[in-house]
Amino acid sequence: MAADRVELNADARTARLTSGLWTLAAGVVETVTIPSWAHGFRLRPSADIRFAISEDPVAAGTETLTVGNTAFASENEVRLIEAGAVSLRLLATGATTVQVTFF
């Protein structure tokens, strides 16, 4: 089951697509394409999620090495990204919504 998407909102000054809301299903990795102009992103999930840049995140507590980072519920997680990063991948353990903003 793929995540539901709301269209990205455009910045009025630059007309660049800057933010959107994703609804994640439990255990499904959702891929968000990083715009070529983006220098970073902000996540604000409604519940804790795992995320990784250009690779699949692994759920915490698995017996493999943990890949990715955690974005905590109702907190802003802000990251700068390197040139060439093409995707942001999100993983939730339960139904979750995530506001994603690129800058």
> Quick one: what percent of the chain has pLDDT higher than 90?
47
Number of domains in the chain: 1
Q: Which domain holds residue 25?
A: 4-102
| Mean per-residue pLDDT, 4-23 | 70
Q: Please report where in the chains the tokens 């903003």 appear, as a residue.
A: 101
Strands, DSSP E only, in the chain?
Answer: 4-5, 9-10, 17-24, 29-33, 40-45, 49-53, 69-71, 77-80, 87-92, 96-102
CATH code, domain with 23: 2.60.120.10
Tell me the per-residue pLDDT of 46-88, one tens digit each, with 9 for 90 and over. Answer: 999 999 998 877 655 555 555 678 999 999 999 999 888 899 9
**Band of pLDDT at residue 103, cut at 50, 70 and 90:** confident
